Amino acid sequence: MTPDAAPTTRDMPVVEVDNVVTRFGPQVVHDGVSFRIGRGTLTALIGGSGTGKSVLLREIIGLQRPTAGNIRVFGTDMWNAAEAQTAAVRRRFGMMFQDGALFSALTVAQNIRVPLLEHANIPGDLLHPLIELRLAQAGLTPDTGNKLPSQLSGGMRKRAAIARALALEPEILFLDEPTSGLDPATARSLDALVRSLVDDLGISVLVVTHDLDTLLTVVDRIIVLADGHVLADGPAAEVTAIDHPWIRSYFAIRTMTGTQSR
Amino acid sequence: MQDSTQPWCEIDASASPATLTLHGHWRLANTEAIWRELRVLRLQLPLCINADNLQDFDSTGALMLLRALDQAGISSDDVQWRALDAQHRRILSGVQRRLPATRNPLDTQDRSGILGLFARVGENAAALGTLLLGHLNFLGATLAAAAHLIVQPRQLRGKELTVQFEQVCVSALPVVALVTLLIGITIAYLLGLQAEKYGANIFVVDGVGIGMTREFAPIIVATIVAGRSGAAFTAQLGAMRLTEEIDAIRTLGLAPMQVLVLPRVLALVVALPLLVFVGDVMGILGAMLIADPLLGLTPSTVIDRLHGSLDITHFWAGLVKAPVFALFIAVIGCRMGILVQRDTRAVGLATTSTVVQSIVSVILLDAAFAVVFQELGI
C-alpha cells in the first residue's frame, strides 16, 4: 500500500506562526507576529498597504525566509526542516497567486494535470474525470479546460488557479487577493465558492484580502496586521467593534450603514 | 493506516442486500490502489454501502465511488448508506452535485494524423499570408506617417530619435567593426591562397574591394542589425504591449506610430548606411592587415590599387541598399512588437520571428537589387 500522507489529528493547528520578525534592511515589516489557524476554518488576513500580508503568506508557504521566528505548517518547521519534509508539506497545501500564475503555455486542463502527474498516481481512465471534477469544484465548465489562460476573463482565471490549487486535495488553501480586480457579482460568487470549499470539503482557507464584503459575509475569523503586530484576531463582529483608528476607518463605511451581518 | 493485506473495498454478495464495505483512507494518495480493486467489483442493486471502516474520504475518493456506481448503472440515491459520517456525506454530495455538469467530456482533439498535418499546414500558410499582408499595410502606414512628417516636421520626436540612434548605431559600432574586420581578413586569406598560385596577388585587392563594398558589408551588417536592433524593437514594444503602455499612449491622444515607430524606423534608416560604411572600411582594413604577411602587398600598394581598380559605383551600389534593408528590419521589428498578445510567451515568440523574418527579407531584397543592378548595368 502506498504510504498515505497521514492526516494530522483534528485538534492540531494547520498553521502556526510564532513570533515572526521580518526586516528588509532598516525597514521592519513584522515585529513579532503570532497566530494559529485550525482545521476547517476560513480565516482572513488583513492590514493596510505595506503591513506585510503577502510577505507573511510567502513566508508561510516557504518562498521567503523570515528574519526571525518560527513558522510551522502541519507541525513541520518550514524553514528548519529537511527539504524532503517541507516537500511533503507542500503537497498538502494549495496556493492561489494574485494573478493566477497559471502556466501560460498550457491549457487550463493541462495546468491542473501538472501537479496530478507529478505527485499523484492517477489511473489513466480516472485522470480526465478528476480534472473535470476539479474544474467543477472551482465552478468552471469542462470546456474551459481546453482554453489557454490568456483566453480567460479575470474571474475565470482566478477560478482556474483555484482548480489547480485544489488538484492534490489540499488540507489548507492559501488565497492571495482572490477577489481583486473582479466585478462585485463575480467577487461574491467567488466568495460563495470559497465558503463551499470550506463547508463541503472541510479544508482550511487563509485568504489575504481587502474586500470588505468577503470579510463581513463569508469569513469565520479576521486577523488584522498593523505596525508589525497582530492588532486584532477574532470573528468579524468582534474585530469591527474594536476601537482603533485604523480598524474604525477600515470598516467605517459598513459600520455606518450597518450592513454587517451574515 | 491500514495494513497491506486488508482490501480497500470488499463486497459481500451473500448479505441481503449485497453490501459493499469500504476500508481505510480513501484519499488521492491511494487512488491507484483503490481504483484497481473498485473497478473489478460487480456492483448491482439492491446495494448497501457500509462506511463504518472508512477512516478518511476526500473528493477524489468520492469521485471513484460515484464513477464505479455510474458505470454499473446505479444511481447513488438507490443505495443504502450505512454509517457514513456527516463530513463524508457532505463531500460525497458535493462531488455528486458537480458531476452532472461534467457530462460533455474534455475535448481531446487529435491533430496528429495525416489530416491534422494538412490542417496545420493550411492554418500556418493562411496565418503567414495574413501576417505578410499586415506587414505591407504597416509599411504603408509608416511611409505615410513619414510623409506627414515632411509637411509637419515639428511632429518629429527629436529626443526619442537620438536615443534610438545611439542604441542602434553608436552602440552597434564595436560589434560591426569587429565582425567586418574578421570577414575582410577571411576573404583576403581565401582569395590570396588561390591568387598566389597564378601570381595574381594584386587582384586580391580588387576582389576584396568589390566584394566587401558591394555585397558582404551590407548583408553582414544588416544581419547583425536585424539580430540586435530588430529583436530589441520587438522586445521593447512587446513589453510595452504587455504593460498596456501602448494603450496608454493612445489614450493620452498620442499616436504610437509617431511616438514609437517612426523614431525607430528613421534612426535605423540613417544608422544602417553609416554602419555599412564602417563595415566597408573595416573589411578593407582587415584585408590590408593580412595582405602584407601573406601576399607581400604593403598597405600603400593596396591603397594605390584600390584607387586604380575599385569603381566608386560598387561602393554606392552597396550603400544604397542599406536604407532599404533598414526600413524592412525596423518595420518588421516594430510591427511584431505591436502584435504581441497579453501572454508572457508572446514576446519571446515575436522576437524570434522578427529576427527570422528580417534576415530572410534582407536576403530577398539583396537578390532583387542584384537583378535590378544587372539590368541597369551598374
C-alpha distances out from residue A1 to A90, B31, B32, B53, B360, Å: 22, 11, 10, 17, 60
Query: A52-56, B93-97, B127-131, B340-344 — which one is most confidently predicted on average?
Result: B127-131
Q: Give the confidence band of A5 by pLDDT, cuts at 50, 70, 90.
A: very low
The 10s digit of each residue's pLDDT in A193-233 is 889 888 888 889 999 988 888 888 888 899 998 888 888 88
C-alpha distance from B348 to closest chain A C-alpha (Å): 12
Do residue A1 and residue B2 have CB atoms under 8 angstroms apart?
A: yes
ipTM value > 0.85: no
Q: Is A133's Cβ below 8 Å from some Cβ in B?
A: yes
CATH topology classification for B9-102:
Transcription Regulator spoIIAA (3.30.750)
Domain boundaries, chain B: 9-102, 144-376
pLDDT at A226 (0 to 100): 86
CA separation for the pair B143, B110 (Å, rounded) = 44
Q: Give the confidence band of B111 by pLDDT, cuts at 50, 70, 90.
A: low
Q: Secondary structure of chain B in the HEC alphabet?
A: CCCCCCCCEEEECCCCCEEEEEEEEECHHHHHHHHHHHCCCCCCCCEEEEEEEEEEECHHHHHHHHHHHHHCCCCHHHCEEECCCHHHHHHHHHHHHHCHHHCCCCCCCCCCCHHHHHHHHHHHHHHHHHHHHHHHHHHHHHHHHHHHHHHCHHHCCHHHHHHHHHHHHHCCHHHHHHHHHHHHHHHHHHHHHHHHHCCCCCHHHHHHHHHHHHHHHHHHHHHHHHHHHHHHHHHHHHHHHHCCHHHHHHHCCCCHHHHHHHHHHHHHHHHHHHHHHHHHHHHHHHHHHHHHHHHCCCHHHHHHHHHHHCCHHHHHHHHHHHHHHHHHHHHHHHHHHHHCCCCHHHHHHHHHHHHHHHHHHHHHHHHHHHHHHHHHCC
Going by their DSSP bridges, the two strands A93-96 and B18-26 should be labelled as: unpaired
pLDDT at B104 (0 to 100): 47
Q: Is B77's Cβ below 8 Å from some Cβ in A?
A: no
Residue in B30, B102, B342 closest to A142 by CB = B102
Which residue in B has a C-alpha nearest to residue A124's C-alpha? B32
Do residue B32 and residue A121 have CB atoms under 8 angstroms apart?
A: yes
Homologous superfamily of A12-92+172-262 in CATH? P-loop containing nucleotide triphosphate hydrolases (3.40.50.300)
Indicate if the pLDDT at residue A144 is higher than 70.
yes
Domain boundaries, chain A: 12-92+172-262, 101-169
Indicate if the pLDDT at residue A1 is higher than 60.
no
Strands of the A42-47 sheet, one edge to the other = A93-96, A172-176, A204-208, A42-47, A221-226, A229-234
Q: Is B35's Cβ below 8 Å from some Cβ in A?
A: yes
The 10s digit of each residue's pLDDT in A85-143 is 888 888 888 888 888 888 888 889 999 988 888 888 888 888 888 999 999 888 888 88
Percent of chain B, pLDDT > 70? 95
C-alpha distance from A86 to closest chain B C-alpha (Å): 17
CA separation for the pair A48, A213 (Å, rounded) = 17
CA separation for the pair A49, A52 (Å, rounded) = 8
DSSP A12-56: S-SEEEEEEEEEETTEEEEEEEEEEE-TT-EEEEEE-TTS-HHHH
Do residue A136 and residue B98 have CB atoms under 8 angstroms apart?
A: yes
C-alpha distance from B229 to closest chain A C-alpha (Å): 27
Do residue A109 and residue B106 have CB atoms under 8 angstroms apart?
A: yes
Do residue B63 and residue A130 have CB atoms under 8 angstroms apart?
A: yes
C-alpha distance from A37 to closest chain B C-alpha (Å): 20
Q: Is B2's Cβ below 8 Å from some Cβ in A?
A: yes
Q: Give the confidence band of B329 by pLDDT, cuts at 50, 70, 90.
A: very high
Question: Does the global pTM surpass 0.80?
Answer: no
How many contacts, defined by CB atoms under 8 Å, are there between A and B? 108
Do residue B345 and residue A143 have CB atoms under 8 angstroms apart?
A: no
Which residue in A has a C-alpha nearest to residue B64's C-alpha? A126
Residue A207 contacts residue A219 (beta carbons within 8 Å): yes
pLDDT at A3 (0 to 100): 39
Do residue A142 and residue B344 have CB atoms under 8 angstroms apart?
A: no
The 10s digit of each residue's pLDDT in B54-69 is 888 888 888 888 888 8
Which residue in A has a C-alpha nearest to residue B31's C-alpha? A122
pLDDT at B317 (0 to 100): 93
Q: Which residues of B touch A153 (CB under 8 A)?
A: none
What's the mean per-residue pLDDT of chain A?
Answer: 84
